[in-house]
């Protein structure tokens, strides 16, 4: 058993504590803060001893791995790549070397070009065939969609540029629905793809060209965000409208650079810079704060406590912030594509479970849907609540007060629960007598002692969003390092892509007899219904 799994085994001895009892210990100050963000993990059953054990396991591996990442060493070693999304938001004085060359001048030049282009589009100096750009269509998928889509919704109160629409799915419904009502002559199309080979994106990009067929000089309204200059050129987009990045930026970590262009068009370069500054502040904190007060490290340890130590299979992300509606989907890619792996860096099977299933929805909507299971189901779901002190609608502040009350009530309810005696008293007050009183009361018992954490911030600004997203990125990194896995490749998405390519001709009618019985039968029926 390696050091990490020994620490997990040791921490297991600490499980089963009562959260409310732990909370009564004033010495257990389980909060950590950085900049505008405070993370409270007192409503977990993690003990001081368990935390000490897990912190020691982190001390053994995180500082060296962290330095290797920030310094540009090729830590993504199944692809031989450095991992430097942090360089995209590094300060003006930073110097970061990859293969002996400082990458920062190139990053800054691209950011400046993006800013100049965004200013031109937003001011109307850059026009489409029909005049000022009114709409932007961002065509991309996965990391080339979720980051900018999540952030554009999150920062909607700051959006004063063209409207931005995100087309990702190869399902034609997505393209049709997002372009309905748009004027092709005043729409800017951004083709966002790190590789510029992703079939969904290239199909939608070709469809966009067809959609714009009547626009004179339509190619002038296309922009590319990619690492693949040659493929962008072959598609017909000239270098001046390509914003490039390098393979040391992973797709799901890429919203800080060119892939963020659609967001920059919506909110303007200054606010985009503010988001980068927020992320940079979290980077600096992650690099320098002692691990016991290091927010990403603490989030990672709480995650490990719940999944590896306590054995809870999933983690719910529950922002009480409607504009963070896409954050759970964003975090699903960030966490599950990064740490959903079975094999460790040395090529061996992991000794235990790796990344959990991550899911969620904004509150309060989730309360009226799936919280039933969270409160009374058989498997505890660690919940990550998040909420701002203030919304962006001063006239509707009474809504926000309700939102805060609901958020805090949920974590309190999960922790306190309701005992059988309390439930019986309620039923007695309603006039029930045994045995019906007992039977009815049992349905109204909440086991309680269910863990949650709460992240709070003053208001969802560009700076705060930058801090929150960087916080989660580093949390995923720390979890990956402790688990001994490479968080930066994604081989698990390949097989399905290969098989889809092979299945294409079969959908069109080619002989399917080499396929398994289920696939054959499904295909034949679908073909019959299609009638072609």
Ligand X SMILES: O=P(O)(O)OC[C@H]1O[C@H](O)[C@H](O)[C@@H](O)[C@@H]1O
Q: Which of residues 293-332 bind ligand X (CB under 6 A)?
A: none
The binder of ligand X chosen from 76, 198, 339, 411 (CB under 6 A):
198
Give yes or no for a contact between 232 and 181, defined as CB atoms under 8 angstroms apart. no
Residue with Cβ nearer ligand X (40 or 79): 79
- 251 touches ligand X by CB under 6 A: yes
Residue with Cβ nearer ligand X (142 or 269): 142
Give yes or no for a contact between 254 and 143, defined as CB atoms under 8 angstroms apart. yes
Query: What's the token pair of residue 65?
Result: 């791995």
Catalytic residues: 337, 368, 497
Nearest to 202 by CA among 221, 222, 187: 222
CA 73 to CA 97: how far, in whole Å? 9
Contact letters for ligand X, residues 206-245 (x by CB under 6 A): ----------------------------------------
The binder of ligand X chosen from 20, 31, 195, 459 (CB under 6 A):
195
CA 71 to CA 251: how far, in whole Å? 19
CB of residue 209 vs ligand X: minimum separation in angstroms? 17
- 144 touches ligand X by CB under 6 A: yes
CB of residue 337 vs ligand X: minimum separation in angstroms? 6
Residue with Cβ nearer ligand X (251 or 260): 251
Residue with Cβ nearer ligand X (44 or 333): 333
CA 247 to CA 257: how far, in whole Å? 12
Residue with Cβ nearer ligand X (496 or 531): 496
Helices and strands per DSSP (H, E), number in the chain: 20, 15
- Select the span of 3-11, 180-188, 192-200, 467-475 touching ligand X (CB under 6 A): 192-200
Contact letters for ligand X, residues 467-496 (x by CB under 6 A): -----------------------x--x---
Give yes or no for a contact between 483 and 335, defined as CB atoms under 8 angstroms apart. no
Q: SS3 for 221-268, per residue? A: HEEEEECCHHHHHHHCCCHHHEEECCCCCCHHHCCCCHHHHHHHHHHC
Residue with Cβ nearer ligand X (171 or 412): 171
CB of residue 4 vs ligand X: minimum separation in angstroms? 26
- 43 touches ligand X by CB under 6 A: no
Cα–Cα distance list, 389 to 366, 386, 400, 532 (Å) = 20, 10, 8, 57
- 252 touches ligand X by CB under 6 A: yes
CB of residue 85 vs ligand X: minimum separation in angstroms? 12
Task: State how beta strands 135-139 and 163-167 pair.
Answer: parallel
Rg (CA), the chain: 25
343: which DSSP letter? B
Residue with Cβ nearer ligand X (195 or 459): 195
Residue with tokens 């001046």: 240
CB of residue 367 vs ligand X: minimum separation in angstroms? 32
CB of residue 249 vs ligand X: minimum separation in angstroms? 10
Q: How many residues bind ligand X (CB under 6 A)?
A: 14
The region, left, alpha or beta by phi > 0 then psi within -120 to 50, assigned to residue 423 is alpha
The binder of ligand X chosen from 14, 174, 283, 337 (CB under 6 A):
337
Q: Is 91 exposed, middle or buried (0-12, 13-18, 19+ CB in 10 A)?
A: exposed
CA 313 to CA 157: how far, in whole Å? 36
CA 425 to CA 446: how far, in whole Å? 14
Give yes or no for a contact between 200 and 170, defined as CB atoms under 8 angstroms apart. yes
Residue with tokens 């300060």: 91
- Select the span of 195-203, 305-313, 392-400, 445-453 touching ligand X (CB under 6 A): 195-203
CA 275 to CA 256: how far, in whole Å? 8
Nearest to 192 by CA among 129, 237, 248, 130: 237
- 260 touches ligand X by CB under 6 A: no
Residue with Cβ nearer ligand X (166 or 305): 166
CB of residue 195 vs ligand X: minimum separation in angstroms? 3
CA 381 to CA 289: how far, in whole Å? 29
CA 480 to CA 310: how far, in whole Å? 18
- Select the span of 128-136, 193-201, 306-314, 368-376 touching ligand X (CB under 6 A): 193-201
Residue with Cβ nearer ligand X (128 or 142): 142
CB of residue 179 vs ligand X: minimum separation in angstroms? 20
- 354 touches ligand X by CB under 6 A: no
CB of residue 347 vs ligand X: minimum separation in angstroms? 21
- Select the span of 187-195, 230-238, 265-273, 281-289 touching ligand X (CB under 6 A): 187-195
Residues whose CB falls within 8 Å of the CB of residue 430, separated by 6 or more in sequence, listed in order: none
- Select the span of 72-80, 87-95, 189-197, 500-508 touching ligand X (CB under 6 A): 189-197
The binder of ligand X chosen from 76, 201, 338, 461 (CB under 6 A):
201
Q: Which of residues 104-143 bind ligand X (CB under 6 A)?
A: 141-143
Residue with Cβ nearer ligand X (49 or 493): 493
- 147 touches ligand X by CB under 6 A: no
Query: What's the token pair of residue 507?
Result: 């959908």
How far from chain centre, in Å, is Cα 277?
Answer: 19
CB of residue 196 vs ligand X: minimum separation in angstroms? 7
Chain residues that interact with ligand X, rule: CB under 6 A: 141-144, 193-195, 198, 201, 251-252, 337, 490, 493
């Amino acid at each position: 058993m390696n050091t990490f799994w020994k620490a997990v085994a040791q921490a297991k001895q600490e499980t089963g504590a009562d959260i409310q009892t732990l909370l009564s210990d004033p010495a257990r100050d389980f909060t950590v803060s950085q900049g505008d963000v405070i993370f409270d993990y007192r409503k977990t059953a993690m003990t001081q001893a368990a935390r000490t054990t897990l912190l020691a396991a982190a001390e053994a591996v995180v500082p060296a791995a962290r330095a290797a990442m920030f310094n540009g060493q090729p830590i993504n070693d199944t692809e031989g790549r450095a991992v430097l999304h942090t360089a995209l938001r590094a300060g003006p004085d930073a110097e970061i070397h990859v293969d002996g060359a400082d990458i920062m001048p190139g990053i800054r030049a691209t950011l400046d070009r993006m800013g100049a282009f965004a200013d031109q589009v937003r001011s109307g100096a850059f026009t489409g065939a029909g005049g000022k750009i009114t709409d932007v269509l961002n065509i991309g998928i996965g990391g080339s969609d979720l980051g900018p889509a999540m952030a554009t919704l999150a920062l909607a109160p700051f959006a004063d540029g063209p409207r931005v629409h995100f087309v990702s799915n190869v399902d034609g419904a997505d393209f049709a629905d997002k372009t309905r009502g748009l004027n092709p002559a005043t729409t800017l199309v951004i083709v966002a793809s790190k590789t510029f080979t992703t079939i969904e994106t290239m199909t939608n990009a070709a469809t966009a060209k067809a959609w714009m067929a009547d626009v004179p000089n339509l190619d002038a309204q296309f922009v590319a965000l990619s690492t693949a200059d040659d493929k962008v050129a072959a598609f017909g987009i000239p270098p001046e409208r390509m914003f490039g990045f390098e393979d040391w930026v992973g797709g799901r970590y890429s919203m800080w650079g060119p892939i963020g262009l659609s967001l920059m068009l919506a909110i303007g370069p200054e606010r985009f810079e503010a988001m980068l500054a927020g992320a940079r502040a979290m980077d600096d904190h992650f690099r320098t704060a002692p691990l016991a007060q290091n927010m990403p490290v603490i989030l990672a340890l709480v995650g490990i406590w719940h999944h590896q130590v306590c054995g809870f299979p999933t983690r719910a992300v529950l922002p009480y912030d409607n504009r963070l509606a896409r954050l759970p989907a964003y975090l699903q890619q960030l966490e599950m594509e990064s740490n959903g792996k079975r094999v460790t860096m040395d090529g061996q099977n992991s000794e235990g479970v790796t990344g959990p299933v991550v899911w969620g929805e904004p509150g309060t909507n989730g309360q009226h849907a799936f919280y039933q299971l969270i409160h009374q189901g058989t498997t505890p779901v660690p919940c990550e609540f998040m909420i701002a002190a203030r919304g962006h609608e001063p006239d509707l502040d009474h809504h926000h007060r309700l939102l805060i009350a609901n958020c805090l009530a949920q974590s309190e309810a999960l922790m306190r629960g309701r005992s059988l005696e309390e439930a019986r008293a309620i039923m007695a007050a309603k006039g029930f007598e045994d045995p019906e009183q007992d039977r009815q009361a049992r349905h109204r018992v909440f086991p309680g002692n269910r863990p949650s954490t709460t992240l709070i911030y003053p208001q969802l600004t560009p700076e705060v969003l930058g801090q929150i997203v960087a916080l989660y990125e580093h949390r995923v990194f720390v979890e990956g390092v402790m688990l001994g896995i490479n968080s930066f490749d994604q081989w698990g998405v390949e097989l399905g892509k290969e098989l889809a390519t092979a299945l294409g001709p079969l959908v069109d009618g080619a002989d399917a007899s080499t396929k398994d019985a289920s696939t054959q039968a499904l295909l034949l029926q679908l073909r019959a219904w299609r009638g072609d």
